[in-house]
Amino acid sequence: MKPNQRLIVALDFSSMGEVEQLVEHLGGSVNYYKVGMELYFSVGNRVLHYLQQQNKQVFLDLKLHDIPNTVARSLKSLTGLGAAMLNVHAFGGPAMLKAAAEAVAGEAERLRMEKPKLIAVTVLTSMDQTEWSSIGQTAELSGQVVNFARLAQAAGIDGVVASPQEAALIREACGNDFLIVTPGIRPQGSERNDQSRVATPHGALAAGASHLVIGRPVTAAADPRQAAERILAEMEGE
């Protein structure tokens, strides 16, 4: 894949005006966008329709986590919206993950559309080992991330969301065809903000990441297009 097929810019906004201004400014530099809860709960499907009209791919990042039947029924509704990627929480367990994978595949077949990629969130990149332990988890964080990845793969999930620090371990455990979508990407010289487990764009790809999710280093830059193009160059190792 080319770098602009692997870079996903996070639209961490709450209004269509902010979205349209950024997407127009970035133009052809960015082809893939993440729509998270803040934006989707604010403007709903309008943002998906707008991005599709601009010929952009969408990662609809709603992190579903509920009983298997509820997640399956929700994903049937979301599949038809045309997003290229959807996600659930691996914490939901094997039954929920299996129901989710079957629901997306079945609904895509019923609608005669290309199946969206379905990925599972492992451990949020805002967490470090200390915080992980504080919620009663005794296993090493990185080991549990790999366990979640194996669990997701066995359930028919296409990949995971994980920090770049675990990307190499997941790639070794799950093979070359498994998607590894990594937030917590910080270009050279960027602030960490609220992320704990981070890496540079080139470092994350070298470790085995398939896609990079990047928000503030682009969206909060003085010139977002220039920032995105620097990141694309960094992904190439330049």
Asked whether the beta carbons of 92 and 65 are under 8 A apart, the reply is yes
In whole angstroms, give the CA distance from residue 90 to residue 162.
Answer: 11
Q: Any known ligand binding at 98?
A: no
In whole angstroms, give the CA distance from residue 141 to residue 159.
Answer: 18
Q: Any known ligand binding at 12?
A: yes
Asked whether the beta carbons of 51 and 58 are under 8 A apart, the reply is yes
Q: Any known ligand binding at 223?
A: no
Asked whether the beta carbons of 116 and 108 are under 8 A apart, the reply is yes
Q: Any known ligand binding at 63?
A: yes
The catalytically annotated residue of 2, 56, 63, 115 is 63
Q: Any known ligand binding at 68?
A: yes
Q: Any known ligand binding at 125?
A: yes
Q: Any known ligand binding at 62?
A: yes
Active site residue 66: yes
The catalytically annotated residue of 66, 76, 115, 128 is 66
Active site residue 61: yes
Q: Any known ligand binding at 116?
A: no
- C-alpha distances in Å from residue 44, one per residue of 3, 38, 50: 29, 10, 11
Q: Any known ligand binding at 171?
A: no
Q: Which residues are annotated as a binding site?
A: 12, 34, 61-70, 125, 186, 195, 215-216
Binding region for substrate? 12, 34, 61-70, 125, 186, 195, 215-216
Catalytic site residues? Answer: 61, 63, 66
